[in-house]
Amino acid sequence: MPRLGGAHRRHAARFGHTPPQVREARRWARTVTGLSQEEADVIELVLSELVTNALRHTASGQNGHFTVTIAYLDTDVIRLAVEDAGPRHGAVPSIPRVRPMDPGLENGRGLALVERLSRRWGFLGVQGTPLTVWAAISRSALR
């Protein structure tokens, strides 16, 4: 993954622990990126999945917070990153992974969707500590 220090432009914001913050993060992303409607829709969808996972699976959803960073790595690649607040209290720490999709379940599709819409995705950090889950999205692939 390209280092964030090489980014041409970078935006970051911190959000609270409630579900409406997913919508606020999407709205913020649309505002700071200034992308076309089509590009912004994909960025918002990927960001929504990353943020929802942080709220659902980490302490970010337990009176915590999460930080979103959007970086332009070059003229084509945008990197979305969501840093969580660490493992949920009382839960066994885990790392992000794509699960096989089960059409009978209402959840479990988030990272599969992120994987499908991104050039690459991954995470930074060590199991049991706050993690940053990121996705690199190619703007040219969105057109």
Residue 14: which CATH number? 3.30.565.10
pLDDT at 60: 95
Residue 139: partners with Cβ closer than 8 Å, 6 or more residues away? 35, 39, 75, 76, 77, 78
CA distances from 36 to 92, 109, 139, 143 (A): 41, 26, 10, 10
pLDDT at 4: 45
* Residue at 18 is within a domain: yes
Range of the domain at 46: 10-141
Entry pTM: 0.89
Q: Give me the tens of pLDDT residue by residue for the chain, a chain 143 residues long.
A: 344 445 578 999 999 999 999 999 999 999 999 999 999 999 999 999 999 999 999 999 999 999 999 999 988 999 999 999 999 988 888 889 887 776 766 666 789 999 999 999 999 999 999 999 999 999 988 77
pLDDT at 91: 87
* Residue at 4 is within a domain: no
Could you tell me how far CA 140 lies from the centroid of its own chain? 20
* Residue at 61 is within a domain: yes
* Residue at 1 is within a domain: no
Sign of torsion, CA 16 19 22 25? negative
* Residue at 5 is within a domain: no
The domain tally of the chain equals 1
- Rounded Cα distance between 124 and 18, Å, is 24
* Residue at 3 is within a domain: no
* Residue at 126 is within a domain: yes
> b/e string for 112-129 if b means 16 or more Cβ within 10 A?
eebeebbeebebeeeeee
- Count of C-beta atoms within a 10 Å radius of residue 74: 12
Edge-to-edge order in the sheet of strand 66-72: 9-15, 66-72, 77-83, 132-138, 120-124
